[in-house]
Amino acid sequence: QDSNSTWILKNIQLRKFNTGVYDYSLFTSVFTPIDRQKFTKSLKVSASSQEWCGTIFTQFNLINAYDYNVEQRSYFEKEGDINSRIKRSFLEDEVFNIIRMNPAFLKKGRFRMIPPANYIQLKHIQR
């Protein structure tokens, strides 16, 4: 293994459903390091939402031990291209990976949790 790489658990989820008007496809990829001593958060989460009007893409990239850079690209004019930073937060998208590795790794107490990326996309939540 390269010294600049780490083993990860990758979780890919695909959801397809019909709203009664048109079909939706939601795709999420979560990349969580196995080494929880060195990496306490997932390195990357990417999510996309496709429907007949267009596509939305969101990506969270860990930039240090605590913070994520967030990129969103959307066909919605008001959402457009958004770049932001989320500080000291836990991503709900990584919960299943952490439970699969070891439930004892789950955070306890009060903390800020960011909803799943596809939820943010469907609800058109601004960051």
Is 98 a member of any domain?
yes
How close are the terminal C-alpha atoms of the chain, in Å? 36
CB 60 within 8 A of CB 68: yes
Q: Using CA atoms, how far apart are residues 35 and 116, in angstroms rounded to an integer?
A: 23
Is 97 a member of any domain?
yes
> Looking at residue 127, what is its pLDDT?
58
Structural domain count of the chain:
1
Q: How confident is the model at residue 19 (pLDDT cuts 50, 70, 90)?
A: confident
> Looking at residue 126, what is its pLDDT?
67
Is 25 a member of any domain?
yes
Q: Where are the alpha helices (DSSP H) in 1-127?
A: 95-101, 117-123
- Global pTM reads 0.90
Is 75 a member of any domain?
yes
Is 3 a member of any domain?
no
* pLDDT tens digits, one per residue of 67-122: 999 999 998 888 789 899 999 889 999 999 999 999 999 888 888 899 999 988 88
Is 1 a member of any domain?
no
* pLDDT tens digits, one per residue of 93-103: 999 999 999 99
Which residues, listed in sequence order, are joined to residue 27 by a DSSP beta bridge? Answer: 14, 48
